[in-house]
Amino acid sequence: MLLAVADRLDGSGRLVGIDASEAMLARAAGEVRARCLRDVKLLPMDAHELDFADNSFDYVLCSFAFLAFRDKRRVLHEFTRVLANGGSVCLLDSYGWFFQHDPRWTWLEEVLRSFDAVPERESAPYGPGYLEAALKKGGFDALAMRERSCQLLFSDEQEFWRWLWSHGTRGLLEAVPRDRLKELRQALRSGLAARREADGMTHGTLRAALARGRTTHSLQSGR
């Protein structure tokens, strides 16, 4: 996401990207080099403990990570702290699981449930208004809220399996005992093949919500 922002800024601002994962940062660094981007810094950091001075930034963009944070209140507090007065925060994330966004994928939830991979409480996933509500609760003035759907396309089972391990659904796969993973993969292979469409691909939908807010710095007393 940082790279998309860099393209838009076109050198008119300085960007700092953080991630807790060194591997993710290394991939981003490769892209930064390949695109010859200047004024982009990448740092390993936990969003719960930002190693930046107060009032350091005009904008905070948190992309596809918010729902994974252990203590969302604390992270929002950190965002407030590092933002200049009147600075903006933008939370962008999917909500619920992708297989709950598209009736063509109910089969996957059934398969995962049969492997005890989807916890019961997940039957009531976060809704699209969740990010906006979190911002308001975190003391931000909520400015805008949007929803977008994007198309998912899988050409084969191998691509799909790798994709499942590459983001939040990884947590579900990790809940499956190792000695049952082969069986799970076989069930997914059959499920995917049965739903292949006329173009030879399996289609899906991913919904994401974006909430933007502005800090008023009224939380200062709580620091």
State which residue, 65 or 201, has the beta carbon closest to ligand SAM.
65
Choose which of 27, 167, 170, 180 interacts with ligand SAM (CB under 6 A): 167
Q: Is 31 in the site for ligand SAM (CB under 6 A)?
A: no
Question: Taking the complex as a whole, how short is the minimal distance between the CB of residue 164 and ligand SAM, in angstroms?
Answer: 13
Phi and psi at residue 201, in whole multiples of 5°? -105, 160
| Interaction of residue 181 with ligand SAM, rule CB under 6 A | no
- Residue from 7, 13, 14, 21 binding ligand SAM (CB under 6 A): 21
- Cα–Cα distances in Å, from 168 out to 35, 36, 98, 109, 117? 27, 30, 10, 14, 13
β-bridge pairing 57-63 and 83-94: parallel
- 221 residue type, one letter: S
Binding mask 52-91 for ligand SAM (x = CB under 6 A): -----------xxx--xx----------------------
End-to-end Cα, the chain, rounded Å? 29
- Which residues, 6+ apart, have CB-to-CB distance to 4 below 8 Å? none
- When CB distances to ligand SAM are compared, the closest residue is 63
Q: Can you tell me which of 7, 13, 14, 20 binds ligand SAM, judged by CB under 6 A?
A: 20
